Amino acid sequence: MDIVLQQVLNAISLGGIYALLALGLAVVFSIVGLINFAHGELMTVAGYALFLGVLFAVPLPLALALAVAAAAGAAVLTERLAFRPMRRADATALLLTSFAVSAILRVLFQNGISARPKPVPLPPALSGTVDLGPVHLGAVPLASILVTLVSLILLTLFLKRTTMGRAMRAAAEDFQVLRLMGIRANRVVAVAFALSGALAGVSALLWVAQRGSVDPLMGFIPVLKAFVAAVIGGLGSLPGAVAGGFVLGITEVLFQAFLPEAALPFRDAFVLSVVIAILIWRPDGLIPAKSARRS
Amino acid sequence: MRLWLNIPVTTWTGAALMSAGVAVLAIGLKLALGLNGENLATLVLLQIVAVLSLAIFSGNSGIISFGHSAFMGIGAYAAGLLTMAAAAQKSALPALPGWLAGHETGLLAALAVTAVVGVVVGVISGLPLARLSTGSAAIGTLAFLIIIHVCLVGARDITRGSQTFYGVPRLTTLWVALAAAILMIFAARLFRDSRLGLALRASRENEVAAAAIGIDVRRARFLAWVASITCATLAGALYGHFLGAFSPKDFYFDLIFTYIAMLIVGGLYSVSGAVAGVIMLAFVIQLLREAEAGLDLGFITLPQVFGLPQLGLGLALLLTIWARPLGLVGLAELRPSTFTRSSDEAPPQPVTRPTMARRAGEVLSVQDVTVRFGGLTALDRISFDVPLGQVTGLIGPNGAGKTTLINVICGQQRPTSGTVTLSGHTLSALPAHRVASVGLARTFQNIRLFDRLTALENVVAAAERAGHRRGVAEGIAMAELDRMGLAPRWNEAAGAFAYGDRRRLEIARALALSPAFLLLDEPAAGMNPAETERLVEALEKLKAERDLGILVVEHDMRLIMRLSDRMVVLNKGQKIAEGTPDQVRTDPAVIEAYIGTRRHKHDQHGS
């Protein structure tokens, strides 16, 4: 009972992290058509900001907020420096730009900070378990699910209730019309990147909480998974990104739990084969995006 | 253009020139720098082989593949297992399954087996890949990269897992690499200019238009993928026999990043660009690698920077995409005329086809077509015929359902009920790329040309779909360009044409399919009166010369009244009139639909 519940919890919390990352990718893709390879480096920025915060004994809540803000700031900065000059380019050129940005940032981290992992000591409350009657559940996965939920709710409120949020949803459907309405395109794009960076920052915190350390490559693997999640969900579709994230996280945990010992090293291969099967079944993803502006 | 084996002679001579250049460079390096130079030259040649294998798929299809480095890995391990000395194999891989052990073949035999492996993995991976949309396909290749990497790491008994796989004999000498590079240069250039390569490049430029001239985009992508992956596994096999010892991470992100950077910096869209990119970046990487450990410039000492080559590649990639999106070389290929400057090759001779004997009474027939989108009835039981040898005009105010009807006729929209038939085929049930082969060609309201292909290539791509060999196809294409007054500009990229010329080029492309029926979707939209006049003259000439049924959708009343033999009028999804232009002009229902009546207006105010 314990184990099953624990696995369910793990699946949901991992799926949540993927969902947040995939959402960050989808927010940007829906508006500027960029599949942002450098998203993982935004996670790394948040990780290092948290590391520095803890190092200088900044109160934890403040350090967490700073870390998320750092990722959002870095996202806006990359947009300003690298992606804005490319606004009119096609999807392939944008993808390659972010590919290059990602490689450059990684080298900068390796040289500027350290190629080795840096430990991030977290409060002991997070490393324990929570006892709910007879079941003991890990505190980190529980906190992680909570944070994911709150982030999703806040994001939904932002997109549905605020003017900027509505402008962003409109931009996702038709960017040209948005401009005709007299809304400043650059601001919408900047906010989209900031939002995407903040989502990367939040997922970085959850990731670091599970790992206890940061290194220059920490964002690489999770964001790779997030790509896959965003594509299964339907590129540029926000509900799709969330669905894709959870599908991927749950599939991974299921394979981890139920594959025979000998097949475990091939887990990712199995998972990705499932992904390809989903894509063959639905080439545009589970919940395709509404606009077809790149057709 | 003269052809040899259906490929322009300039492609052959260009490839020969390029091979000679590469050979001179490689041998020069060996002579100048000795053993170091020989190693560097071999590496550069192998990079040319690898990047060209990538270019065969990515350059022609426009889909960047992130998976090729992993497929190279498969080739390296497969060939390495075959050539490895039995004794070395026993110590390195004690648990190797018996059927894989102790072959000790030579390099050529190993390459032959690797090619078979390449075809098999190419087919397995290509089947799902070809089904994906363009955007998802790149991510799909990324999935292949990870899947293969995980499998190579996981299959410990065969690959030693993430540990170094050693004992592969170093059989890839400078000469082997040079031979491979020359073969690949020829293969890549011939592929690019082949029938399949041209079809794929057309689909890269515009997928919808490619399907409309009869190109099966999925099939073209699949075949190119299999060819490209086979070449990649061979490139990997040679690379493995150059390294001697390697591990799965040697065939992972860093490798594909390097190759993609080389391809983009040189120029994704040409073989010459790919080769130039490899040579240039290979030397940049070499310099940066030496600078990586720190550099003493005399007056200042640069610190050690870990990952300097990656940084350089990243910056090179960024600068290229910003400043020269087509890469340094762009669209042009190296050919003899690159040096002689007498750039103008002779255009192919126009061929006038024998008029095909068509079955009399062949007809494009719209029967009872209804389309509903949710609660909205876009088309309500529309029926009419488009006979051969006449121009049928289709008009209607905005929102009448014209575009929906065209989409149904061309197989892009399935009707809710009813059918469209042409000589026994139900068009409305065919996939879009089969419509052309049944005998219906079309142009698009928002022009869809293959912008980065020349005018001639645009039309040849269509003529080849009609079943002609390259030589005949070029002749037909020239004749069609001539008809539309575009012959002098046959060798210019379609993207450079002015609006009216683009419209006419699209018509020339459609005519090259030798269709029985031609659908023109607002051919005069956006044209000025002079351009419209030229178009009308061209179409009237066409009507007189060819036994062709034409369906024209147009807003320009004067044009359509002048051109049409019969007209069909749609309004709000219903056919409200059909007849000669004169009959339609005076039809009260048509006048009401276009101008409205006083009573009608009054009703609107009242309601």
Residue A224: list chain B partners with CB under 8 A. Answer: 142, 146
Q: Residue B114 has which token pair?
A: 């690797």
By the 8 A CB rule, do A238 and A27 touch?
yes
Task: Give the residue-averaged pLDDT of B507-522.
Answer: 93
Give the three-class secondary structure for B466.
Answer: coil
By the 8 A CB rule, do A104 and A214 touch?
no
Average per-residue pLDDT in chain B? 89
Residue of B64, B74, B136 to mutate, testing the A interface (most A Cβ within 10 Å of its Cβ): B136
By the 8 A CB rule, do B454 and B493 touch?
yes
Contact A103 B311 (CB under 8 A): yes
pLDDT at residue number B341: 63
Q: Which residue has the higher pLDDT, B302 or B562?
A: B562
Tell me what percent of the residues of chain B surpass a pLDDT of 70: 95
Beta strands B7-8 and B425-426: pairing type?
A: unpaired
Q: Cα distance from B314 to chain A (closest Cα, Å)?
A: 4
Is A226 at the interface with chain B, CB within 8 A?
A: no
Residue in the block written with tokens 């391809």: B263
Contact B315 A104 (CB under 8 A): yes
Nearest-CB residue to A224 (from B62, B128, B146)? B146
Is A164 at the interface with chain B, CB within 8 A?
A: no
Is A272 at the interface with chain B, CB within 8 A?
A: yes
Task: Give the residue-averaged pLDDT of B471-489.
Answer: 92
Report pLDDT digits (tens) over A243-261. 999 999 999 998 888 888 8
In this structure, the number of other CB atoms found within 10 A of the CB of residue B31 comes to 11
Report pLDDT digits (tens) over B185-205. 999 999 999 999 999 999 999
pLDDT at residue number B449: 96
Residue B325: list chain A partners with CB under 8 A. Answer: 89, 93
Q: Report which DSSP code applies to B430.
A: S
* Helices marked H in B84-216: 86-92, 107-131, 134-154, 156-159, 174-193, 195-205, 207-212
CA distance B232 to B229: 5
Q: Which residue has the higher pLDDT, B532 or A65?
A: A65
Q: Kindly report the CA angle at B96 between B94 and B101, in degrees rounded to 5?
A: 105
Structure confidence at residue A80 as a pLDDT band (50, 70, 90): very high
Residue of B174, B172, B179, B154 lying closest to B244 (CA atoms) = B172
Q: Cα distance from B503 to chain A (closest Cα, Å)?
A: 20
Q: Which residue has the higher pLDDT, A70 or A128?
A: A70
CA distance A55 to B82: 54
Report pLDDT digits (tens) over B501-513. 999 999 999 999 9
B residues 296..315 contacting A (CB < 8 A): 305-308, 310-311, 313-315
End-to-end CA, chain A: 49
Hey, CA dihedral for B46, B48, B53, B54, is it positive or negative?
positive
Residue A235: list chain B partners with CB under 8 A. Answer: 135-136
Least confident segment among B59-68, B260-269, B598-607:
B598-607
Longest dimension (CA), chain A: 60
Question: DSSP letters along B571-594, please?
Answer: ETTEEEEEE-HHHHHH-HHHHHHH
Residue A284: list chain B partners with CB under 8 A. Answer: 133, 136
CA distance B288 to B282: 10
Structure confidence at residue B1 as a pLDDT band (50, 70, 90): low
Question: With 90 as the cut, is the pLDDT of residue A69 above it?
Answer: yes
Contact A104 B314 (CB under 8 A): yes
Residue of A32, A101, A107 to mutate, testing the B interface (most B Cβ within 10 Å of its Cβ): A107
Structure confidence at residue B604 as a pLDDT band (50, 70, 90): very low
Structure confidence at residue A150 as a pLDDT band (50, 70, 90): very high
Contact A227 B142 (CB under 8 A): yes
Task: Give the residue-averaged pLDDT of B34-60.
Answer: 96
pLDDT at residue number B166: 93
Question: What chain A residue is nearest to B128 in terms of C-alpha separation?
Answer: A280
Is A285 at the interface with chain B, CB within 8 A?
A: yes
Is A279 at the interface with chain B, CB within 8 A?
A: yes
Residue A279: list chain B partners with CB under 8 A. Answer: 128, 131-132, 136, 140
Dihedrals phi, psi of B582, to nearest 5 degrees: -65, -40
Q: Which residue has the higher pLDDT, B56 or B132?
A: B56
Task: Give the residue-averaged pLDDT of B51-56.
Answer: 98
Sequence letter at residue A239? P
Is A266 at the interface with chain B, CB within 8 A?
A: yes
The residues facing B455 across adjacent strands are none
Residue of A182, A40, A63, A35 lying closest to A122 (CA atoms) = A63
Residue B139: list chain A partners with CB under 8 A. Answer: 35, 227-228, 231
Question: With 80 as the cut, is the pLDDT of residue B606 above it?
Answer: no
Question: With 60 as the cut, is the pLDDT of residue A239 above it?
Answer: yes
Question: With 80 as the cut, is the pLDDT of residue B23 above it?
Answer: yes
Q: Cα distance from A169 to chain B (closest Cα, Å)?
A: 21
Question: With 90 as the cut, is the pLDDT of residue B221 above it?
Answer: yes
Hey, CA dihedral for A149, A153, A159, A165, is it positive or negative?
negative
Is B326 at the interface with chain A, CB within 8 A?
A: no
Structure confidence at residue B602 as a pLDDT band (50, 70, 90): very low
Contact B310 A96 (CB under 8 A): no
Q: Residue B595 has which token pair?
A: 């101008």
Q: Kindly report the CA angle at B234 between B228 and B238, in degrees rounded to 5?
A: 140
CA distance B606 to B526: 37
pLDDT at residue number A224: 85
CA distance B39 to B321: 31
Residue of B111, B93, B94, B97 lying closest to B159 (CA atoms) = B93
Number of H helices, E strands in chain B: 24, 14
Q: Residue A164 has which token pair?
A: 């900027």
CA distance B232 to B238: 10
Question: With 70 as the cut, is the pLDDT of residue A137 above it?
Answer: yes
CA distance A118 to B422: 71
By the 8 A CB rule, do A196 and A75 touch?
yes
Q: Kindly report the CA angle at B73 between B67 and B78, in degrees rounded to 5?
A: 135
Contact A269 B151 (CB under 8 A): yes
Is A235 at the interface with chain B, CB within 8 A?
A: yes
Structure confidence at residue A227 as a pLDDT band (50, 70, 90): confident
By the 8 A CB rule, do B125 and B144 touch?
yes
Q: How far is CA B13 from CA B183, B267, B268, B336, in A?
A: 14, 20, 21, 7
Sequence letter at residue A168? M
| Residue A17: alpha-carbon gap to chain centroid | 6
pLDDT at residue number A291: 54
Is A186 at the interface with chain B, CB within 8 A?
A: no
Nearest-CB residue to A283 (from B136, B264, B305)? B136
Give the three-class secondary structure for B235.
Answer: helix
What is the residue extent of each domain of chain B?
Answer: 3-337, 364-606
Q: What burial class does residue A93 get, using C-beta atoms within 10 Å of its C-beta: 0-12 exposed, 13-18 middle, 19+ buried?
A: middle
Q: Residue B377 has which token pair?
A: 């009835």
Question: With 50 as the cut, is the pLDDT of residue B565 above it?
Answer: yes
Q: Kindly report the CA angle at B327 between B323 and B328, in degrees rounded to 5?
A: 90
Structure confidence at residue B355 as a pLDDT band (50, 70, 90): low
Q: Which residue has the higher pLDDT, B125 or B525?
A: B125
Question: With 90 as the cut, is the pLDDT of residue B251 above it?
Answer: yes
Contact A111 B305 (CB under 8 A): yes
Strand order in the sheet with B440-442: B440-442, B517-521, B549-553, B391-395, B566-571, B574-579
pLDDT at residue number B598: 59
Highest-confidence range of B336-345, B394-403, B477-486, B532-541, by mean pLDDT?
Answer: B477-486
Q: Among 3.40.710.10, 3.30.360.10, 3.30.70.120, 3.40.50.300, what is the CATH number of B364-606?
A: 3.40.50.300
CA distance B359 to B381: 28
Nearest-CB residue to B153 (from A265, A276, A279)? A265
CA distance B599 to A111: 80
Sequence letter at residue B383? S
Contact A266 B154 (CB under 8 A): yes
Question: With 70 as the cut, is the pLDDT of residue B528 above it?
Answer: yes
Tell me which H or E stretch contains A6.
helix A2-32
Least confident segment among A10-19, B227-236, B532-541:
B532-541
Beta strands B517-521 and B549-553: pairing type?
A: parallel
CA distance A293 to A274: 28
Give the three-class secondary structure for A71.
Answer: helix
By the 8 A CB rule, do B335 and B13 touch?
yes
Highest-confidence range of A64-73, B94-103, B429-438, by mean pLDDT?
Answer: A64-73
Residue of A99, A266, A273 to mutate, testing the B interface (most B Cβ within 10 Å of its Cβ): A99
The residues facing B7 across adjacent strands are B4
By the 8 A CB rule, do A101 and A78 touch?
yes
Nearest-CB residue to B317 (from A85, A100, A294)? A100
The residues facing B8 across adjacent strands are B3
Residue A37: list chain B partners with CB under 8 A. Answer: none
Question: What chain A residue is nearest to B326 in terms of C-alpha separation?
Answer: A93
Q: Cα distance from A155 to chain B (closest Cα, Å)?
A: 26
Residue B147: list chain A partners with CB under 8 A. Answer: 268-269, 272-273
Contact A99 B257 (CB under 8 A): yes
By the 8 A CB rule, do B60 and B192 touch?
yes
Is B124 at the interface with chain A, CB within 8 A?
A: no
Contact A111 B132 (CB under 8 A): no
Task: Give the residue-averaged pLDDT of B4-25.
Answer: 92
Report how many Cβ contacts below 8 Å link chain A to chain B: 119
In this structure, the number of other CB atoms found within 10 A of the CB of residue B437 comes to 17
Is A223 at the interface with chain B, CB within 8 A?
A: no
